[in-house]
Structure 1
């Protein structure tokens, strides 16, 4: 049985609206200027503290910003997303083919579980591995390590599927096969530079690539 680890934002769902509005909310609460939309979109993918850190340069203020972000996310940000066209059918197809599916995301794990529970294909994932609220586990290599430990499996039994360099770099850190997806937020240049083993233009391509 092959285990497939799916990133969430930019892979399963287009969560740009929810994430950018929550970042904007946190920045306003902190009395900081809100950058352009193109700049806000760079916050999609990395751990929150990774993004807030260089901007605030103060661990205490970083934690305050994270709490503001979570306040809005828990109230409404979690539901501000769209499912990518074709991903539902692809998840069903991969499940039917006998793959074991899980979500591995830098999102706070309670938030990620809430989202997955509301996805029409969410029941196909046997577990959701996300960041700890205190940030102790938040980077993709740490999250993959946690997932491997929970399942009690080796990295060569798995694939990591995601749209950002963090997904590819995290997979390569563990010697794991990977697919970079081009319908998310990273783009081809970023994924190739990170060393993606395969690139998928659409969700429908995933079963073929994973069977290679």
Structure 2
């Protein structure tokens, strides 16, 4: 371990970590419910399921539907979501400042998400990140997705920074499992989406962060193989 400081590279989950995309997902689910003569669901019902993916959100939106026909709704969900993408979502408070602080320190940052790559890539220009995000790995980019470590390993390889010199930040247990399996330090983002029974203190993250603003300070990051500006 070296002196404390920002990591050479920070890799982030997208939904629930950088982006509060639940409102886009809610609009998608409610369009699907309306087309089936069902009333709207509320954000507080859907929000805990967002990080679990389309199937989990569909289960929340259509709890009375059998699994097989509900699984068949995934393409419809993704198609409608692409239309709603970025229309309602916002950055979590402090994310912009956190990314600015990383860049000012000379750190590289990128995104490793289980969202399909084409959807993740579509949102980058809306956020002004298409020229700032150094690497983007989606859930369908590779043969495996989180909690498998492959996406994190490939992301580090593509930016040319050793795994031990990167930190992964995510709001789901699968994020921390992937980081641990890859040998990458991790931060559990407590501001994100999770269900009532989930306990982040049991995930094995190196650091628990309450809010993105904490990560504008070097002391909030776990030690890595080397740190920007370390002596």
Normalised to the residue count of structure 2, the TM-score between the two structures is 0.75
Native 8 Å contact 1:25 1:69 kept in 2: no
**Residues 91 and 122 of structure 1, relative CA distance in 2, 3 Å threshold:** farther
Q: What's the secondary structure of 2:214's corresponding residue?
A: helix
Q: How many residues align?
A: 209
Cα separation, partners in 2 of 1:31 and 1:151, compared to 1, 3 Å = farther
Aligned to 2:210: 201
Tell me the distance in 2 between the aligned counterparts of 1:52 and 1:23: 7
Q: Residues of 1 paired with 2:34 and 2:147: CA distance?
A: 28
Residue in structure 1 matching 2:54, options 29, 48, 51? 48
Distance 2:166 2:190 in 1: 20
- Hey, what's the Cα distance between the residues in 2 that align with 1:30 and 1:68? 13
Matched-pair contact (CA < 8 Å) for 1:108–1:130: yes
What does residue 181 of structure 1 align with? 189
| Structure number with higher relative contact order (C-alpha < 8 Å, ≥ 6 residues apart) | 2
Greater per-residue helix proportion = 1
The Cα shift of 1:136 comes to: 4.9
Q: Structure 2, unaligned stretches of length 5 or more?
A: 1-6, 224-231
1:84 and 2:95 correspond: no
Larger radius of gyration: 2
TM-score, length of structure 1 as denominator length:
0.80
CA contact (8 A) 1:160 1:171 kept: yes
Separation of aligned partners in 1, 2:35 and 2:152:
33
| 2: CA distance, partners of 1:33 / 1:166 | 32
RMSD, aligned α-carbons: 3.2
Q: Counterparts of 2:51 and 2:9 in 1: how far apart (Å)?
A: 22
- Residue 159 of structure 1 and its aligned partner are, at CA, apart by 0.7
Note the residue ranges of structure 1 that are not aligned, 5 or more in a row: none
